[in-house]
Structure 1
Amino acid sequence: MTPDLRTAARPAVGTTVVDRLLRHTAQPVAVRHTIDWAGPVGMDLPDERAVQAACGLMHVHGRATGGPVPLAVDYASVVAGVLAAQGATAAGIGRARGLDLNEVRTSVAQGALLALGQYLAAATADEGLDPPDPEPSEASAAGLATLGTSDGARMEIETLDPSAWREFWARLGVPAALAGRGWLPFQQRFATAVCPLPDELRRAARHRTLADLRAAAHHSGVSLLTIGSDPAPAVHPAPWRLTPAPAHTVTAVPSPRPPDATLPLTGLRVVESTRRVQGPLAGHVLRMLGAEVIRVEPPGGDPMRWLPPLADGTSARFTALNAGKRVVEADLTTMQGRAAVRELAATADVFLHNWAPGKAGRLGLDSEDLRPGLVYAWASGFGDTLGERPPLGTDYLAQVHSGLAAAVRPADEPPAPSLMTLTDVLGGLVCAQGVLAALAARERTGRGGRVDSSLVSAAALIPRPAHRVHWTPWDRPLATADGHLYLGPEARARPEAMRRLFDRADAKSLTTQEWTRRLAEAGLTATPVRTDLAVLAHDPAFRSAIAPPDPVTGHARPYAPWEFA
């Protein structure tokens, strides 16, 4: 499906990102790329905030704090910039392989929908639930995972081990049964974007000093990072590091392009051993661009397959990232399992993993252990920014380390990571672009190479000011009698007009439609804020951007975010 696109100037942030990524990418053939605001979405979406409102980003980001709220950074525009770079690079690879591809288009709205893919799937699954946001009067920080201390520090903790979780809280005097009540919401916050911890856990942290919590984390094996108020990135790594295979190695013979291929990577094979979001999303992008993706899972399958809600017996969130991939089960703790992976990699063009630091070497599956013509990609959490023994490389700790936890919220709110998986999504996209850059280089030189990217290197792509932003009352969505409205930038530029409107009526006394009419009469624009992703999936305005519910799984998914010409 290739819907007509409205032409528009490329958003400044998206332009900056795509230009930076393409400078970092050796393309075999230059391909024209265009970024629109709305793309195939049938709405007037003139800026980043309008996209965040209409596509559900405000809703998911605001779930943990009581109602829809904008991200204070141009996140969707950055995602669109990476998508444009991917499309242009992939089209260049396709042209080098004999396809007649000259142009690629994407949009900020398509970037937002791709970023929301797992939340959209969960909301539209048969067992899914996406309740509307609570009223603003109910807003609180109870849904965040951020902890405070008696001496005023704020921190994020991380562990994937329930015994380490219990030990951490035991050292703070919390009984095991009570700590156990917090484990499931803590682990599922990646999928739900909320973390309703028992109040007793938060109180236990607030009664201890930062030193006490650091000691508890150290002795229990829990990772802990304190949240600063500086939004600037602590480090500025390149999006990825590409290390070509040595010149003396055997040159690669790229997989032939099938004669009926229409997508740029058709005929190429990717083998991935990944989990959670970052790695699977990188493979998902390469599959949407035409590659065959073979997924290596442990015996019995990836545990994420059973994360609710289920659709046709499999997690809707898992399917959103892994549909269409072929699965091979292998026990990497055994010689036979590792041999099976080497055998698969010997037939592949790309090997992709997001294992913990050092695991590839211990398994004998590092880049030097596999064939030299391969593109070998490692998607990590911190790269080399925190030394050889970094904390767990997960989304929320990466937001803290990169300064994004301070940048996503305005100055009048305490800094805290968004519980939407911002860096996991962006990290997966950056990893995929690094793979495309390596494949483009291989078309030119015949040599494979190694690609290293990280959540932190992805977060560094998001521009942010030197100091946290200050919002006016009109930066937050307007709560109406039946929903919320995002007011366009002219509302902030015309405070007198806004005051006159609000002198005439209380905001919640009028419906969204009535407010839209009054604002239009005053020459002001507004965008309805989507607070129900299940409804969004059936909105006629999105029919060219979101596929109808799958007849087997029952849940919706965004279409591939590129249109090639």
Structure 2
Amino acid sequence: MARTASPAAARGAGPLAGLRTEWPGPPGPGAGVVAGQLRLLGAEGGPGRGGHVALSGAEFGEVSVRTAWGKAEGVTDEATVQAATGVMAVHGRRDGAPRGLAVDYAATAAGVLAVQALLAALLAQARGTRGRFAHAEVSAERAGLLAVSQYLAAAGADEGEAVELAPGGPPFTSGDGVVFELEALEPGGWAAFWRALGAPEEAVRRGWRPFQFRYATACAPFSDALHQVVRACMWERIKAAADAAGADVCPLHALTRRAAEDDGAPPWTLTPHGEGRTATTSSGLDAPLAGLTVLEAGRRIQAPLAAHLLGLLGAEVVRIEPPGGDPLRGMPPACSGISARWLALNRGKKAVEVDIKSPADRGRLHEMAGDADVFLHNWAPGKAAALGLDREHLAAAHPGLVYAYTGGWADRIPGAPVGTDFMVQARTGVGEAARPADEQPAPSLMTLLDVLGGLLGAQSVLAALLLRERTGRGVRADSSLLGAADLLTAPARARAVRGEPPRRPAGYRRPLPTRDGGIAPADTCADAVAARYARHRLARASTAEALARLHAHGLTATAVTTDLAGLPRDPRFAGLIRHDAHGSLAVPDPWRFA
């Protein structure tokens, strides 16, 4: 049953058309992200920087979200959140020691989660539940835990990793000085590339598995012989070898180049596609998305995480898996026989096996879409159209469907390489922005963009569902890793445009070692902490002693988490991290509604 369109939304404006923002309270993490995205979604109001934002309009009661850094002692800003939640530990695996990200990753994620909370609250109101879920809280601390959830789950599993956790990995450097990222999605392409360059067969054979799993382990300790091989080859030869092998290579691009070519597009697009039914209204929802169904055909991280977040908000998520089930269910390490990493992204979902190569099974999927509210996938570009499962095919039969695609490039970069996390990092300057000026630019082997892209994917679906409620029309929602990269690097690119150094200074967010670990100072007092650290020889002190001395002088710092498996026992996160039914570690929901 189609809903009568609201006047503001019917004019073709965004899902928040006709709503105004207010910004009471002190600053909070990700406030700039929240303000920017609310404007892109159609809300009115001046630029906000507060940690509390409220939305209201004629059709809705007020909804609000408050953002904070966290509740743990000493966790007061981006640097200390990264240190405490394990972000520094995971990002630093390639280098062999914790490293801080020079971008505000946890704050950016918290900003996206805050917008999700507002959209979910408004959607619940539009479906007839006024007054419930009207207020939410989001913390950068919980956003950081969500970002490392797959690594945390693996660290707490019943068995060890399938590959060694040790320093090493891309990027590579050619003989003529081109620093580049490599992507090979199949072992045949990997082997053919290296053989064309004359690499030792043993190094090629042993290198595939750590390279293949690098997105899951955040490191790739393959033989240095592979680095030596490319250092002996000119870039043109390397590029020709990749083309012949079906692999992909991408030079690391500077932030200044990305700033010059940026088209200013939003991180998602919402395209109405026809009138049709909307979700049944209800005044008895026990979660904002209760009663909605999401069909998810996703792989790896981006789409599965987007669907996971929608499930946490109450939607029933039905995962479309190939015959025999998703092979990633068996990816080590396991908890109760199921991959811990798989559980981190897919626990609580239902599963249906569908052979999308079979006409009969594709017909089944069409029928399932008729009973669903959302169809979400991240197949390779062109695959959905080739299978007859693109928006044009499904929306023709199911005009009220929200058709969501989480991809790599959003067709915005001509000649772009394959759209995986690390290649998008390389092409967009993330490899430069994520490291301070005294470190060589390098994409992080932590899946920065897959996670942030998954958050944006969930946000685009929520915006599309709200737009559908307000207009009675189905919507296509497209999000991308490129959008995630641009959102993450926006401050660095803005510095480049102003003619300022886009990268952070030497030593930025670099932990200070102690006798039994390390400490990370807050950004605002890093210089004062470093001076007192050197003056009082705190490298010889225990972590607890070093922190006590700093705190006594009014300086803020926190311990650097190095063992993710120990986070459930960390007093900073008492009661936040639990074990699921399979014994796998699970992080808390990123929002709290009231």
Residue 553 of structure 2 corresponds to: 522
Q: CA deviation at 1:434?
A: 0.6
| Cα distance per residue 1:238-276 (max 9 Å; x no partner) | 110111014xxx42231343x642211000000011100
Structure 2 matches for 1:384-395, cutoff 5 A? 384-387=411-414, 390-395=416-421
Q: CA deviation at 1:237?
A: 2.8
**Aligned pair partner of 1:116 in 120, 140, 148:** 148
Query: Does the C-alpha gap of structure 1 residues 472 and 519 become closer, same or farther in structure 2, counting only changes over 3 Å?
Result: farther
Residues 1:382 and 2:432 aligned together: no
Q: CA deviation at 1:501?
A: 5.0
Structure 2 matches for 1:133-282, cutoff 5 A? 142-230=167-255, 233=259, 234-235=261-262, 236-246=264-274, 250-257=275-282, 260-282=284-306
Residue 18 of structure 2 corresponds to: none
Whether contact under 8 Å (2:438, 2:506) holds in the other structure is no
Q: CA deviation at 1:402?
A: 1.7
Residues 1:437 and 2:453 aligned together: no
- Distance of 1:83 and 1:368 partners within structure 2: 30
| Cα distance per residue 1:115-134 (max 9 Å; x no partner) | 11111111111114699998
Residues 1:93 and 2:123 aligned together: yes
* RMSD over aligned Cα atoms: 2.2
Q: Tell me the secondary structure at the aligned position of residue 378 of structure 1.
A: strand
Whether contact under 8 Å (2:512, 2:520) holds in the other structure is yes
Residues 1:82 and 2:151 aligned together: no
- Distance of 2:542 and 2:463 partners within structure 1: 49
Query: Does the C-alpha gap of structure 1 residues 490 and 406 become closer, same or farther in structure 2, counting only changes over 3 Å?
Result: closer
Q: CA deviation at 1:153?
A: 1.0
Amino acid at match of 2:26: A
Residues 1:340 and 2:367 aligned together: no
Query: Does the C-alpha gap of structure 1 residues 414 and 171 become closer, same or farther in structure 2, counting only changes over 3 Å?
Result: same
Q: Tell me the secondary structure at the aligned position of residue 143 of structure 1.
A: coil
- Distance of 1:171 and 1:129 partners within structure 2: 31
Whether contact under 8 Å (1:35, 1:84) holds in the other structure is yes
**Aligned pair partner of 1:11 in 21, 28, 39:** 28
| Cα distance per residue 1:483-522 (max 9 Å; x no partner) | 000123354454xx854652442x4321112211222333
Q: CA deviation at 1:221?
A: 1.0
Query: Does the C-alpha gap of structure 1 residues 559 and 517 become closer, same or farther in structure 2, counting only changes over 3 Å?
Result: closer
- Distance of 1:133 and 1:67 partners within structure 2: 12
Amino acid at match of 1:16: G
| Cα distance per residue 1:514-533 (max 9 Å; x no partner) | 21122233332211111111
Superposition misfits of 4+ residues, deviation over 4 angstroms: 128-134, 231-234
Whether contact under 8 Å (1:297, 1:329) holds in the other structure is yes
TM-score (norm 2): 0.87
Q: CA deviation at 1:474?
A: 7.0
Query: Does the C-alpha gap of structure 1 residues 200 and 447 become closer, same or farther in structure 2, counting only changes over 3 Å?
Result: same
Whether contact under 8 Å (2:343, 2:584) holds in the other structure is no
Structure 2 matches for 1:37-116, cutoff 5 A? 37-38=69-70, 41-99=71-129, 100-101=131-132, 102-116=134-148
Unaligned runs of 5+ in 2: 1-23, 44-58
Identity, % of aligned positions: 45
Q: Tell me the secondary structure at the aligned position of residue 409 of structure 2.
A: coil
Q: Tell me the secondary structure at the aligned position of residue 66 of structure 2.
A: strand
**Aligned pair partner of 2:522 in 485, 488, 496:** 488
**Aligned pair partner of 2:573 in 542, 558, 564:** 542
Q: CA deviation at 1:553?
A: 1.8
Q: CA deviation at 1:302?
A: 1.5
Query: Does the C-alpha gap of structure 1 residues 300 and 265 become closer, same or farther in structure 2, counting only changes over 3 Å?
Result: same
Whether contact under 8 Å (2:102, 2:504) holds in the other structure is no
Q: CA deviation at 1:408?
A: 0.1
Residue 560 of structure 1 corresponds to: 589
Whether contact under 8 Å (2:516, 2:543) holds in the other structure is yes
Aligned residues: 539
| Cα distance per residue 1:98-124 (max 9 Å; x no partner) | 222321111111111111111111111
Residue 503 of structure 2 corresponds to: 469
Whether contact under 8 Å (1:372, 1:448) holds in the other structure is yes
Residues 1:25 and 2:25 aligned together: no
Residues 1:293 and 2:317 aligned together: yes
- Distance of 2:588 and 2:351 partners within structure 1: 22
Whether contact under 8 Å (1:68, 1:133) holds in the other structure is no
